[in-house]
């Protein structure tokens, strides 16, 4: 029996509306680019349920567009500033702060929103209401478009401490203005901070021992979240408070290991969190190579142990100034930490890739700082200590 025409039309209409819902869902599911979602500072410390986002869904690749991977401000060969690209915060440019845990990013991030100003106008780069958790970093020309993607401006819109793999698939979605008419395509400039891997790992251990977790981090890669099997939890219960160094070192999927390398790499190149995708050796080699390449492409990275040069480089790169000289008196805790030879050996294994990355980063950093110093008569004037 044939269906009457109207009911066939109705059926098609229903199918079409379901299909378009699906497309929307796939294109930008709430759990990938939740624009209302935000994590408070306390989320780092307070327990949260482990799998809040439900079953991981496979979805199509959202972007293949190079634009989202950010634009370099450095000539690749000699690491001198490019003359053909200038950051224009008044136009469509966005700084994306990739904030790796325990690298001094919280203090730096707060200083960015509180004390950056435009030296040509003297105006603050962001506006902060007292007591507000976050500040608004609107473009200097007015309007409601923001130029800084970071914890203290936009919030963790792409997930708590989102890594490179997550950011390049998410930032453009959450930073898209409601009305895209009259705006040139947005350009992204990535920035991050690095820290000596030994101190960073120790600092993370002590932080976790005090009860912090980053359970809300998403670990999204290749269209889905890492599964429970891929990232086995290190501990039962809400936190790992009071964990011993031995237990911390022994957990196989502890993300503290080589965190800087992992968070800067494009994890799709190593099969995401799937350990059977390739041998451990290949995995490490490829992940390190990817992290290096991405670091090299970054518009800016700082090294927290070299805070003055970090400040000089930042200010010269983006044409903004901090109102005061930055500190690097981050966390004296752990300075006197002692460990056995056995512990130290395990410890060094856990940070082996980060140590290589950091050595590479220091060279690159020195080249960039030198290039900036050569082209700036008195770089120390940035620090107010000329």
276 binds ligand NAG (CB under 6 A): yes
Choose between 36 and 378: whose C-beta lies nearer to ligand NAG.
Answer: 36
Q: DSSP state, 124?
A: B
Binding residue for ligand NAG, selected from 228, 246, 282, 324, defined by CB under 6 A: 324
Interface with ligand NAG (CB under 6 A), residue total: 21
Nearer to ligand NAG, 224 or 362 (CB): 224
Per-residue CA distances from 157 to 62, 64, 150 (Å) = 17, 21, 9
Q: Which is nearer to ligand NAG, 122 or 332 (CB)?
A: 332
Question: Are residues 289 and 182 in contact, defined by beta-carbon separation less than 8 angstroms?
Answer: no
- Minimum CB distance to ligand NAG smaller for 12 or for 277: 277
Q: Cα separations (Å) of 135 from 21, 144, 150, 155, 359?
A: 34, 13, 10, 10, 35
Dist CA 52 CA 49 (whole Å)? 6
Q: How far is the CB of 91 from ligand NAG (least distance, A)?
A: 8
Contact segment (CB under 6 A) with ligand NAG among 30-38, 55-63, 71-79, 350-358 equals 30-38
Spell out where the chain has E strands.
93-98, 116-117, 148-149, 187-194, 220-221, 224-225, 300-303, 321-322
Q: What is the dihedral of CA 86, 91, 93, 95, to 10 degrees?
A: 100
Kindly state the smallest distance separating residue 208's Cβ from ligand NAG, in Å.
19
- For residue 83, the minimal CB distance to ligand NAG (Å) is 19
Residue whose tokens read 């100034």: 321
Does 81 bind ligand NAG (CB under 6 A)? Our answer is no
Minimum Å gap between C-beta 195 and ligand NAG is 16
Listed residue (125, 277, 262) closest to 201, CA to CA: 262
Does residue 144 interact with ligand NAG by CB under 6 A?
Answer: no
Tokens of residue 264, six digits: 């800067």
Binding flag, residue 274, ligand NAG (CB under 6 A): yes
Q: Which is nearer to ligand NAG, 335 or 341 (CB)?
A: 335
Query: In angstroms, what is the C-alpha Rg of the chain?
Result: 22
219 among known catalytic residues:
no
Is 84 a binding residue for ligand NAG by CB under 6 A? The answer is no
Query: 162 near 31, Cβ under 8 Å?
Result: no
Residue 338 contacts ligand NAG per CB under 6 A: no
From the list 72-80, 194-202, 270-278, 288-296, the region that binds ligand NAG by CB under 6 A is 270-278
In the set 92, 106, 111, 124, which binds ligand NAG (CB under 6 A)?
111
Cα 112 to chain centroid distance, Å, stands at 15
Residue (45 or 352) nearer to ligand NAG, CB: 45
Q: Which of residues 32-61 bind ligand NAG (CB under 6 A)?
A: 34, 36-37
Between β-strands 93-98 and 187-194, what pairing exists: parallel, antiparallel or unpaired?
Answer: parallel
Choose the stretch contacting ligand NAG; rule: CB under 6 A; options: 67-75, 128-136, 247-255, 327-335. Answer: 327-335
Min separation Cβ 69 and ligand NAG, Å? 24
Burial of residue 367, with CB atoms counted within 10 A of its CB: 0-12 exposed, 13-18 middle, 19 or more buried: middle
Query: What DSSP state is assigned to residue 136?
Result: B
Site string for ligand NAG, 116-135 (x = CB under 6 A): --x-----------------
From 76-84, 92-100, 326-334, 362-370, give the range in contact with ligand NAG by CB under 6 A: 326-334
DSSP for 175-242, written as a single string: H--S--TT-PPPEEEEEEEE--HHHHHHHHHHHHHTT---TT---EETTEEPPTTTS--S-SSS--TT
CA–CA dist 206, 102 (Å, integer)? 10
Q: Which is nearer to ligand NAG, 80 or 115 (CB)?
A: 115
Stretch that binds ligand NAG, among 201-209, 322-330, 360-368, 378-386 (CB under 6 A): 322-330
Cα–Cα distances in Å, from 372 out to 169, 192, 311, 328, 366? 31, 18, 12, 21, 10
Tokens representing residue 270 in the block = 């190593």
Of 105 and 295, CB closest to ligand NAG: 105
Assess 335 for contact with ligand NAG (CB under 6 A).
Answer: yes
Q: Which residues are at the interface with ligand NAG (CB under 6 A)?
A: 30-31, 34, 36-37, 90, 107, 111, 118, 140-141, 274, 276-277, 324, 326-327, 332-333, 335-336
Catalytic residue list: 161
């Amino acid at each position: 029996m044939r269906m009457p025409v109207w009911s066939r039309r109705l059926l098609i209409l229903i199918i079409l509306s379901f299909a378009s819902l699906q497309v929307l869902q796939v294109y930008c599911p709430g759990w990938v680019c939740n624009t209302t979602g935000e994590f408070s500072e306390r989320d780092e410390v307070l327990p949260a349920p482990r799998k809040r986002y439900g079953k991981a869904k496979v979805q199509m690749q959202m972007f293949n567009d190079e634009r989202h991977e950010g634009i370099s401000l450095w000539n690749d060969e000699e690491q001198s500033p490019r003359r053909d690209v200038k950051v224009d915060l008044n136009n469509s440019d966005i700084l994306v702060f990739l904030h790796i845990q325990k690298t001094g990013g919280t203090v730096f991030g707060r200083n960015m929103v509180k004390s950056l100003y435009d030296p040509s106008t003297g105006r603050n780069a962001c506006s902060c209401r007292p007591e507000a958790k976050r500040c608004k970093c609107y473009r200097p020309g007015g309007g409601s478009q923001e130029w800084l993607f970071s914890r203290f401006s936009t919030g963790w819109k792409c997930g708590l401490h989102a890594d490179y793999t997550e950011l390049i698939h998410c930032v453009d979605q959450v930073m898209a203005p409601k009305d895209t008419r009259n705006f040139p395509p947005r350009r992204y400039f990535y920035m991050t901070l690095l820290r000596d891997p030994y101190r960073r790992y120790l600092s993370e251990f002590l932080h976790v021992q005090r009860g912090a977790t980053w359970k809300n981090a998403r670990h999204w890669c290749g269209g889905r979240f890492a599964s429970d099997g891929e990232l086995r939890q290190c501990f039962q219960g809400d936190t790992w408070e009071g964990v011993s160094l031995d237990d911390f070192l022994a957990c196989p999927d502890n993300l503290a290991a080589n965190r800087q390398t992992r968070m800067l790499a494009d994890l799709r190149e190593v099969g995401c969190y799937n350990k059977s995708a390739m041998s451990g050796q290949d995995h490490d080699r490829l992940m390190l190579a990817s992290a290096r390449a991405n670091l090299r492409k970054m518009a800016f990275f700082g090294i927290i142990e070299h805070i003055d040069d970090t400040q000089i480089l930042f200010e010269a790169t983006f044409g903004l100034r901090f109102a005061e000289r930055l500190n690097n008196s981050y966390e004296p805790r752990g300075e006197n930490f002692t460990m056995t030879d056995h512990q130290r050996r395990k410890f060094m294994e856990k940070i082996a890739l980060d140590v290589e990355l950091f050595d590479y980063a220091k060279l690159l950093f020195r080249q960039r700082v030198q290039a900036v110093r050569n082209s700036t008569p008195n770089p120390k004037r940035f620090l107010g200590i000329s």
